[in-house]
Amino acid sequence: MKAAARAFWLRSPGEGEVREVTLPAPREDEVLVRSLYSGVSRGTETLVFRGQVPESQHAAMRAPFQEGDFPGPVKYGYLSVGLVEEGPAALKGRTVFCLYPHQTRYVVPASAVTVVPDDVPARRAVLAGTVETAVNALWDAAPLVGDRIAVVGGGMVGSSVAALLARFPGVRVQLVDADPARAETAEALGVGFASPADALGDCDLVVHASATEQGLARSLELLSAEGTVLELSWYGDKKVSLPLGEAFHSRRLVIRSSQVGTVSPARGNRSYGDRLALALELLADPRLDALITGESAFEELPEVMPLLASGEIAALCHLVRYGKSA
């Protein structure tokens, strides 16, 4: 029997709506998931909401269960946690994470969901996709014991990276952000904090996640000779200028990109599933609750998304909650 559900769609840049959808009955190798929570990844999702995905990146930026195409109408999102209502016995009744858009119920292959560990609350589990990005970034960056590290940009991704770096022995980790309110986030995560002007220099590694030209330029300034900036920001269709004259060459500085779409070559023996399972294990740390800074009901998304996109709601991860009859 087919079931009804509701999904959030971007009708056109800047305008969202909730649509009724009809779900197919799950096959033997599929699961029916009732959503408990989803998360709005404020960086990427607000770029999508504003219609700022470059045409050259339309294919690369597709989410796993996206419907429609950029710039819209499109159903987009990838941080969903729900309860398996129908499916294989090993999954039925389990709380799972899935890279699915904001929707009250959905049917996906059983292989597309990952069981949330018992010691990870469902609401915190929406961070799995972002912590997975941080895991991949640190596989790429390969920090060493005793490194001096700055994370420039205290958004959802940058703060996730800082949270994981806080566990590394002997490292000096400083979260750098122009917003003084991020000092509270840094304290909760157990790392230092500084404004861009006051950040400590002589860094072996700088992870950049501010998605601003100024942040990337400042990241280069914070490096020691032969240091590396790991670039995690995605700028959409914005152009970026950098000071690659001056001492960039004489100091032998490195700018390296990292992107979660590919498992880091440094861990070529790991699968996407391995990486996501690790991210969920790491979410047992209650300090990561500091990354969830806003909450609203699913039905409010058409009004909330414009506020997130404009910055009127300055959330890190904005939590979307679903009613029991979702």
- Six token digits for residue 72: 């819209």
Supply the pLDDT for residue 314. 77
What is the per-residue pLDDT across 81-103, written as a single tens digit (0 to 9) for each?
999 999 999 999 999 999 999 99
Supply the pLDDT for residue 326. 60
Domain ranges in the chain are: 3-127+283-321, 131-265
pLDDT mean over 27-32: 96
Q: Which CATH architecture group holds 3-127+283-321?
A: Alpha-Beta Complex (3.90)
How far out from the chain centre does Cα 325 lie? 27
Between helices 42-49 and 301-310, what is the axis angle to 10°?
A: 100
What is the per-residue pLDDT across 139-175, written as a single tens digit (0 to 9) for each?
999 999 999 999 999 999 999 999 999 999 999 999 9
Confidence of residue 325 (pLDDT cuts 50, 70, 90): low
3-state secondary structure of 219: helix
- Six token digits for residue 280: 């969920």
Give the CA angle between residues 128, 134, 137 to the nearest 5°. Answer: 145
Those residues whose C-beta lies under 8 Å from the C-beta of residue 249, and which sit 6 or more positions away, are: none
Cα–Cα dist 77/183, whole Å: 28
Cα–Cα dist 183/163, whole Å: 13
Cα–Cα dist 126/128, whole Å: 5
Burial grade of 29 (CB within 10 A; 0-12, 13-18, 19 or more) = exposed
Confidence of residue 9 (pLDDT cuts 50, 70, 90): very high
Does pLDDT of 177 surpass 90? Answer: yes
C-alpha dihedral sign at 177, 181, 185, 190: positive
Residue of 75, 119, 76, 78 lying closest to 95 (CA atoms): 119
Does pLDDT of 203 surpass 80? Answer: yes
Does pLDDT of 62 surpass 70? Answer: yes
Which residue is it, tokens 């880091």?
264
The highest-level CATH class for domain 131-265 is alpha beta
